[in-house]
Amino acid sequence: MSENVGQTARIPLIGEKFPEMTVKTTQGVIELPKAYEGKWFVLFSHPADFTPVCTTEFVAFQKRFEEFKKLNCELIGLSIDQVFAHIKWIEWIKEKLGVEIQFPIIADDRGEIASRLGLIHPAKGTNTVRAVFIVDPNGTIRAMLYYPQELGRNMDEILRMIKGLQVGDENGVAIPANWPNNELIGEEVIIPPAATVKDAEERPKKFTCFDWWFCHKKL
């Protein structure tokens, strides 16, 4: 049974710390976000074990497991199932599909964690929706995604988001749509807005700009 998850609280928001909680997983008890201190992590919920769309998602996440690792990012799944169901399901995936799931899966059979994180949307039933929390090495929630049960996620977009957030942090820049294949500036990044009139006047002299408020550069 998890600890520190029974109290009623609002859904955590982008920019806030991921809630502290102790969870039971297929790889033992884990303290979140402490266990991943100094690393990025992606916590993702799935509606249920032994379901087709969820199975495709777990295989897709595992196929990209090493790519996440290269970004200093760990994966952790969650659904309202017991540990034995998780274990049996990942055994089935290994036996039938030849894919070994290497990341832990949280057992939330009482639904306490799901409720605390806002993963149960009553209009979509009592199972968890397909939520994604991207958390940085400081334990801060940097992005959140929500998908309905009937739509599987795009794992390459989750990888792109982590890469983009890391590039933005390291270089103090913003990331354009569809980066690194943006329709206007390709793989370049966007310079933050000018803070003063003088800065606005100097921007076009320092960077490539469509106008002073839209300047970009190569990394």
Residue with tokens 């639904």: 111
Domain with 142 in it: what CATH number? 3.40.30.10
Say what the pLDDT of residue 9 is.
Answer: 53
Same-domain pairing of 178 and 81: no
Tell me the pLDDT tens digit for each residue of 120-171.
787 777 677 889 999 999 999 999 999 888 899 999 999 999 999 999 999 9
- 164 within a domain of the structure (yes/no): no
Average pLDDT over residues 24-30: 97
Active site residue ranges: 54
* Residue type for position 128: T
Same-domain pairing of 45 and 147: yes
Tell me the pLDDT tens digit for each residue of 197-214.
999 999 999 999 999 999
Q: Specify the number of domains making up the chain.
A: 2
Same-domain pairing of 139 and 177: no
Tell me the pLDDT tens digit for each residue of 49-105.
999 999 999 999 999 999 999 999 999 999 888 999 999 999 999 999 999 999 999
Say what the pLDDT of residue 81 is.
Answer: 86
Say what the pLDDT of residue 110 is.
Answer: 81
Same-domain pairing of 186 and 145: no
Cβ of 200: how many Cβ atoms within 10 Å?
A: 15
Tell me the pLDDT tens digit for each residue of 104-134.
999 988 888 888 888 878 777 767 788 999 9
Same-domain pairing of 142 and 50: yes
Say what the pLDDT of residue 186 is.
Answer: 98
Cβ of 174: how many Cβ atoms within 10 Å?
A: 15
Domain with 202 in it: what CATH number? 3.30.1020.10
Domain that holds residue 94: 21-152
Same-domain pairing of 110 and 140: yes
Same-domain pairing of 55 and 136: yes
Residue with tokens 């049996």: 88
Helix, strand or coil, per DSSP, at residue 159: helix
- 13 within a domain of the structure (yes/no): no
Same-domain pairing of 142 and 72: yes
Half-sphere exposure of residue 133: CA atoms within 13 angstroms, side-chain side = 26
Same-domain pairing of 201 and 118: no
Cβ of 40: how many Cβ atoms within 10 Å?
A: 19
Where is pLDDT greater, at 115 or 23? 23
